[in-house]
Structure 1
Amino acid sequence: MRSPSPFRALWGANALSNLADGLVFVTMPLVAAGLTDDPRGVAGLATTYALVRLLVALPVGVYVDRLDRRTLIVVANLLRGVAVLGLAVAIQSGLASLAVLYAVMAVVGVLESAADGAAVAVLPAIVPGDRLDRANARITGTQLVADEFVGPPLGGILFALAAAVPVYATGGLWVAAGAVALALPRRARDAPSPPQRRVRRRPCSARPRRASAGSPGTASSDPWP
């Protein structure tokens, strides 16, 4: 299957975004562990992220239905990138705190809900219905590999270099994802309805049909009543 350019843009943006997800979920607890000795403070990052996503699920869904999904994907990724790059600067300059980490994780949770919801909604609008299953499988497979198998070990390796390195990498990946998503079509909202084929109905013939050629004794039938 030769994927259309809009699908490649969505696929690429999702791959970059999911790789950033894998990095951030390893990096943030490591950064937090360097800021506090309280394990509850470290564990609370994941709780904050999950709770924020739960609370904003319905409001974000409303905005996904009303707003341009391409714009949502681009803006959500760019804002995540800017927030995390700001955190990287704070870490490098020694200004980071646990409160800043919690705030960044909350922002990331809100924006990720928007980006993920818009990506799911825009897919049927850019992929034909008969290719939708394959497109979903490709995106899901890429997400699994990037988020679970590539991002976490890469985050650990980069953190060994310096605490700010994987944070810079995460922010850069989200900015790149937003840039790639610019290739999506504008106003990509709902999937186009399939064209309706006009069928001309033939009037019924009162005369008996002749047997079809090559099939003696078998009368052909009119498909229309």
Structure 2
Amino acid sequence: MTATEAVRTRTPAWRGGFGRLWTAAVVSKFGDSLRTAALPLLAASLTDDPLLIASVTACGYLPWLLFGLLGGAVADRVDQRRAMWAVDLLRGLLMAGFAGAVWLDLGSIALLLALAFALTTLQTLFDNAATALLPSLVPAEALTSANARLMTAQQIVGGFVAAPLVPVLLVVGAAMPYAADAATYAVAAALVASLRVGAPQREPGPAGSTLRGEIAEGLRTLWRDRAQRGLCIATALCNIGMGALIATLVVHVTGWLGAGPGGYAAVITAFGAGSLAGGLLARRLADRFGRIRSVFAAGLVQTGCLVAMGSVRALWVTIAAMAVFAVMGMVWNVNQTTLIQERSPAQLLGRINSAFRTLAIAGTPLGALLGGAAAAAWGPNTPALLAAGLFIPAVASLAPLIN
């Protein structure tokens, strides 16, 4: 383990704002998970074209390419707390309107595409602001634990609570998952607005500073950091594969496996269970082996899971593979996020995070479209194998960073 990978651990205090931020994140994730699980089923009920279904997922990632860098620069300029609650209020209004449209039986693929694009556009500002805000609420040595607690709790409500509820809510009414999501946005906005965090203290920028120049500064800083640069490249390759897998997972489970909505809910629940275990494991692996080694090992295991999913036509295999895949995914995500927060100057954190996420997510819409095309041409299991083929060079690219 190198000095730059040294990991210090401490449990974050619930007081001081972290508890409210944690609660807001969990409540919002609950609603988002209802929507995320319900939307593919709604899309599948509107069309049987895998490419159109995958396009909904692709459209949900596209704004990161268009506005991700801008969102990071804005997050470094504004009061992050105010930006977060304002965005949540607006997202709540959008979801309430969408729920009304579904209730009136006005849903369409075009409306789903527009919703996915709008929500992710707002998310580019919210997520960058949230990443930059967390270090002001917890000490530096508690960041690993704080990120793990946030991500683990979000996966618990997403996998154990929200996903199993979706079939029940759909029996009550097709609009129910979306109405619940709108309500959670309102609750999360109120919690974030109540945080007692003053406006960030920033040194005034140089005369003539522009958003374009500030974005470029964030990109340069990211690219000069060898560890962040390497991890960004690896994550970008993996996300192409993830785009292919996620966009066609409902077709994989309900079509190739013939498991129906119940099977799809079981797979999503398994993913949530695995993420819970991964959240508990992430800090321990980082303490023992360092962040880069932990991410490297996680990627190797995930590759094997993808091969199993695409090769074995059995629901139980897909459930088990998704659970293990999620364990390793949480190990990757916790250590990735903490590494960025630890290695980035505070005044650049929003921009560096947005640069990382934009570059890393850039291939996800392409992956979603490739996955849809592959499923249509060669069968619903091929996107998982395509993803495995992309994970192999991604993991290999991390090897030079291990000292």
Query: Do they fold alike, i.e. is TM over 0.5?
Result: yes
User: In structure 1, how many angstroms separate the alpha carbons of the residues matched to 2:198 and 2:56?
Assistant: 35
Shift, 1:190, TM fit: 5.8
Structure 1 unaligned spans of 5+: 192-225
Pair 1:81–1:157, CA change in 2 (3 A)? same
Give yes or no for the alignment of 1:32 onto 2:32: no
| Residue 170 (structure 1) aligned with residue 148 (structure 2) | no
What does residue range 79-98 of structure 1 map to in structure 2 within 5 Å?
79-98=90-109
Cα distance, 1:92 vs. partner?
0.8
Q: 1:23 to 1:123 in 2, by over 3 A?
A: same
Amino acid at match of 1:147: G
CA positional deviation for 1:131: 3.0
Match of 2:65 in 1: 54
Secondary structure in 2 matching 1:82: helix
Question: CA separation in 2, counterparts of 1:133 and 1:37?
Answer: 43
Is the partner of 1:34 in helix, strand or coil?
Answer: helix
Q: What residue is the counterpart of 1:22 in the other structure?
A: 33
Q: 1:188 to 1:9 in 2, by over 3 A?
A: farther
Aligned partners of 1:28, 1:132: CA distance in 2, in Å? 33
Deviation at 1:161, TM superposition (A): 2.3
What SS is found at the alignment partner of 2:111? helix
1:33-86 deviation digits (Å, cap 9, x = unpaired): 233343322221111112222332211111111111001110111111111110
Pick the aligned partner of 2:122 from 99, 106, 111: 111
Counterpart residue type for residue 146 of structure 2: A
**2:78 paired with 1:67:** yes
Q: Residue 11 of structure 1: which of 15, 22, 37 is its match?
A: 22
For residues 29 and 160 of structure 2, the distance between their equivalents in structure 1, rounded to whole angstroms, comes to: 11
- Cα deviation for residue 188 of structure 1 reads 4.3
**Structure 2 alignment gaps of length 5 or more:** 1-10, 203-403
Q: TM-score, normalised by structure 2?
A: 0.44
| Distance in 1 separating the partners of 2:88 and 2:167 | 23
User: Alignment partner of 2:17: what SS?
Assistant: helix
Which of these two proteins has the greater Rg computed from alpha carbons?
1
Judge which range, 55-64 or 179-188, deviates more. 179-188
Partner of 1:181: 192
SS at match of 2:95: helix
Please tell me whether residue 139 in structure 1 is matched to residue 124 in structure 2. no
- Checking the alignment, whether the CA contact within 8 Å between 1:74 and 1:179 is kept in structure 2 is yes
Match of 2:367 in 1: none
Superimposed CA distance per residue, residues 166-186 of structure 1 (whole angstroms, 9 cap, x where no aligned partner): 111111111111111111135
Which TM-score applies when normalising by structure 1? 0.77
Please give the alpha-carbon distance, in whole angstroms, between the structure 1 residues aligned to 2:159 and 2:176. Answer: 20
Aligned to 2:161: 150
Secondary structure at the aligned position of 1:95 is classed as coil
Match of 2:52 in 1: 41
- Tell me the distance in 2 between the aligned counterparts of 1:16 and 1:57: 24
CA gap 1:130/1:98 in 2 versus in 1, 3 angstroms:
same
Distance 2:200 2:41 in 1: 39
* Structure with the higher helix share, 1 or 2: 2
Q: CA deviation at 1:5?
A: 4.1
Q: 1:29 offset after TM fit, Å?
A: 1.5
Aligned to 1:178, the other structure's residue is in SS state helix
Tell me what 1:77 maps to.
Answer: 88
Select between 22-31 and 139-148 the one with higher mean Cα deviation.
Answer: 139-148
The percentage of aligned residue pairs carrying the same residue is: 35
For residues 3 and 36 of structure 1, the distance between their equivalents in structure 2, rounded to whole angstroms, comes to: 46
SS in 1 for 2:46: coil
Deviations 1:131-164 (A, max 9, x none): 3332222112112223344332222331232210
Partner of 1:203: none
1:131 partner SS? helix
